[in-house]
Amino acid sequence: MTDGSPLFPLATPRLKANRKLEVGSSFALFLAGQHVAVALIIPRSMTVRATILISALFTWHMLYAAPTEHSVSPSRQFIIYGADAALRGAVSDLAERTKADFLALLRQRDNWTVPIVVDLQPQQANLPELPSANLRFTQTGFGLKLQLDLTISQNLDVSLIERELLRGILLEMMYRQQSHIAAGSVFVEPPHWLLDGVLALGPGRDRGDLMQALVAADKPLPLEKFLRQRPEPLDSAGRALYRAYSFALVQMLSDGRDGPGRLAKYIGDLSDASDEPLANLRAHFPVLVSDAERSWQSTLDRLRNFQISQLLTFAESERRLDELLRVKISQTNNPTKIAALDEFAQRKISPGEKMALSQLSRDLLVFVAQANPVLRPIVREYQQITALLARGKRRAIAKRLSRLDVTHKQLAARMSDIDDYMNWFEATQMNKGSGYFSDYLKAVNQSQLAPPNRRDPLSVYVDALEDQFEN
């Protein structure tokens, strides 16, 4: 990463050449090209006050025209403006890592032609509606221009920045061979499933939540319907399932020796793609020509079966559920508070408690897929109650929670009885001993045996007296 002059200089006031301005006495400002050359004509009769005014104007102009600090990423594709060098460096590292992971998936070299400008803007109190990330793709007189505006705040989502950076990289790959595009043309956006799938396939990603969402789905979505689905109106559970489907599709397309190359070719042709997403895929992936739906369902089944083999037992699910239901509430300058779920059904919750309940709702939603199938309805009910409490809805929640607790305890007692019976049945039906208690039984038997008689003279005399008294 290097620092230097800006690629796109800030706009500076331009004046017509040889145009004369008057401030007190006559002086002239001349501009040549994009560089400002200032010539001051100060008559001897000019007063001190006019001289000070002209000097102040000259200083203001030079400060206004000063170049904005920026950084250039190692590949020189990303030019980052604004903020300090440390933050620009962090954004540069994230951009380069995102691109490197994407190129590794496609097994392609870095052949970029269009730079991506990243403008880091501080959050402004008078403009709260500014989006956290806004990617602009336009056609200028000098060619294509990609600019990502990031509003820096304490709550900035790094995953959102990564997603927008990847979107810019995809757009550059889609249009790098089409530099002569007519002004006003409509640009084709990369599909949402491609963005989510590429990010999910990145190295070091935790894909447990995605696999659990696949297992929890009642009925797999057909491929054609999924390709036309929009993720924006989906709730949190639907959004998690959409990311899981995206991961499965990109993995299916990139599998095999020719998969990465075909996926790269598909991305390069997206700018001329039709409105039929499945037909576009079939044109680039022969595996989808004969029976795309069968290949899609086979991929989902393989991923789902792999996750099912890692389900928890009922006892393990019980321990995990009990741990989750102990709500942990963070408090400023105080130790973390542990609260039961029924406490929040009796009163209005604080902002900190609302955040804790929202997190618990998400954790329970993920846990549904991992829990033992017998316990899943209970976990789902707890998740729905927690979601209502997080939104401040307490009507009839106390009774509903009380009934659920009773059902939960009855189910746990019934499962304990079943475990006891199965253990008894297994023990009584064995043809031979398991050997698990051999050492214990041996120790008990030895403790019950009479100790051997001592043969010393005193012991022999005492034994003889004992025999005489008994007879």
Q: Which amino acid is at 282?
A: R
Terminal Cα-to-Cα distance of the chain (whole angstroms): 107
Mean pLDDT over 459-466 rounds to 81
Angle between helices 277-284 and 259-268 (to 10 degrees): 130
Compare 358 and 162 and report the one with higher pLDDT: 162
Percent share of the chain, pLDDT over 70: 79
How many CB atoms sit inside 10 A of residue 223's CB?
Answer: 23
Per-residue model confidence (pLDDT) at position 4: 46
CA atoms within 13 A on the CB side of 254: 22
Alpha carbon of residue 279 to chain centroid = 30
What is the per-residue pLDDT across 21-40, written as a single tens digit (0 to 9) for each?
333 333 333 333 333 333 44
Selection from 387, 341, 344, 352 nearest residue 368 by Cα: 387
Which value, to the nearest 10 degrees, does the dihedral of the CA atoms of residues 401, 406, 410, 412 take?
A: 50
Which residues have C-beta within 8 Å of that of residue 254, sequence separation ≥ 6? Answer: 105, 106, 201, 260, 263
| Single-letter code of the amino acid located at 124 | Q
Q: If you count DSSP H runs as helices and E runs as strands, how many of each does the chain have, helices first? A: 16, 12
Q: What is the pLDDT of residue 152?
A: 85
* pLDDT higher than threshold 70 for residue 434: no
Q: pLDDT tens digits, residue range 282-303? A: 999 988 988 899 989 988 888 8
Q: Which domains does the chain have, with CATH numbers?
A: 2-64 (no CATH), 71-308 (1.10.390), 314-426 (no CATH), 444-470 (no CATH)
The predicted structure's pLDDT at residue 424: 81
Distance CA 151, CA 161 (A): 10
Say whether 22 sits in a helix, a strand or coil: strand
| Nearest partner of 169 among 86, 108, 246, 122, judged by Cα | 108
Residue 329: what residue type?
I
What is the per-residue pLDDT for 1? 54
**3-state class (DSSP) for residue 136:** strand
Per-residue pLDDT band at 13 (split at 50, 70, 90) = very low
Distance of CA 407 to the CA centre of its chain: 35
Check residue 139 and give its pLDDT: 79
Confidence of residue 119 (pLDDT cuts 50, 70, 90): very high
Q: Is the separation of the CB atoms in 148 and 164 below 8 Å?
A: yes
Question: Quick one: 92 exposed, middle or buried, by C-beta within 10 A (0-12, 13-18, 19+)?
Answer: buried
Amino acid, res. 430? M
Q: Which pTM value belongs to this model?
A: 0.55
Q: Is 284 left (phi over 0), alpha (psi -120 to 50) or beta?
A: alpha
| pLDDT tens digits for range 39-53 | 444 444 445 555 554
- One-letter amino acid of 69: E
DSSP letter string over 322-352? Answer: HHHTSEEEEETTEEEEEE-GGGGGSSPPPHH
pLDDT for 355: 81
For residue 60, what pLDDT is reported?
A: 47
**Pairing outcome for strands 133-140 and 70-72:** unpaired
With contact defined as beta carbons under 8 Å apart, do 77 and 112 qualify?
Answer: yes
CA distance 346 to 328: 18
User: How many residues does the structure list for the chain?
Assistant: 471
- Flag the least confident range among 2-11, 229-238, 304-313: 2-11
Distance CA 125, CA 120 (A): 16
What mean pLDDT comes out for the span 131-153?
84
**Structure-block tokens of residue 460:** 């022999």
Q: How far apart are CA 275 and CA 224, in angstroms?
A: 12
413: exposed, middle or buried (Cβ count in 10 Å: 0-12, 13-18, 19+): exposed
> Rounded CA gap, 403 and 400, in Å?
5
- Coil, strand, or helix at residue 101? helix
**Measured between alpha carbons, how far is 328 from 338 in angstroms, rounded to an integer?**
5
Residue 454 has pLDDT above 70, yes or no: yes
Q: From CA 133, how far away is CA 163, in angstroms rounded?
A: 10
Tell me the C-alpha distance between 179 and 159, whole Å.
30
